Chains A and B, each alone.
Chain A
Amino acid sequence: KQEVTQIPAALSVPEGENLVLNCSFTDSAIYNLQWFRQDPGKGLTSLLLIQSSQREQTSGRLNASLDKSSGRSTLYIAASQPGDSATYLCAVSGFQKLVFGTGTRLLVSP
Chain B
Amino acid sequence: EPEVTQTPSHQVTQMGQEVILRCVPISNHLYFYWYRQILGQKVEFLVSFYNNEISEKSEIFDDQFSVERPDGSNFTLKIRSTKLEDSAMYFCASSELQGPSAEQYFGPGTRLTVT
Binding site for B on A (CB under 8 A): 31-32, 34, 36, 41-46, 49, 51-53, 89, 91, 93, 95-103
Contacts and interface: CB of A to CB of B under 8 A. Distances in A.
Interface residues of B, number: 26
Interface stretch (B14-22, B62-70, B76-84, B102-110): B102-110
A102 to B, nearest CB: 5
A32 B100 contact: yes
B102 A32 contact: yes
A46 B105 contact: yes
Contacts of B35: 98
A31 B103 CA distance: 11
25 contacts: A31-B100, A31-B102, A32-B100, A32-B101, A32-B103, A34-B103, A36-B106, A42-B109, A43-B91, A43-B106, A43-B108, A44-B43, A44-B106, A45-B106, A51-B100, A89-B43, A96-B33, A96-B98, A97-B45, A97-B48, A98-B33, A98-B35, A100-B42, A100-B43, A101-B42
Nearest to B3: A43
